[in-house]
Amino acid sequence: MRIVRTTRIAIRTDERLLIRMSMPPLEGWCEGCRATVQWLALDHAATVVSVSPSALGRWVDEGRVHRGTTPGGSLLICLTSLVRQIHE
């Protein structure tokens, strides 16, 4: 009688995104995530993911990343949805 052995190997990976900034990011509620998130200015967010601000603006228009605005009307990008987008 022949003995058959099965070995199962599970590999777990973790990834971290480290963003160094001169100022701490803004924190606030994101309706899309339904959570408190960190917000980045459009230009800074574009630099973080190495895309042009116009490409990031298209992602916002398509609903792929969440947006917010400052009291002054400047566009903010939800960091949580941005990280989710670059992993898809």
Residue-by-residue pLDDT tens, the chain, 88 positions: 788 888 888 887 776 666 666 667 789 999 999 999 999 999 989 988 889 999 999 999 999 999 999 888 889 999 999 999 988 7
pTM: 0.73
> Residue 83 CB: number of other CB atoms within 10 A?
15
Does domain 26-87 fall under CATH 1.10.287? My reply is no
Strand partners, 40: 77
Kind of pairing, strands 67-69 and 35-41? Answer: unpaired
Tell me the residue length of the chain.
88
Query: H/E element holding 45?
Result: helix 42-48
Q: Give the SS3 label for residue 2.
A: coil
C-alpha span between 38 and 2 (Å, rounded):
58
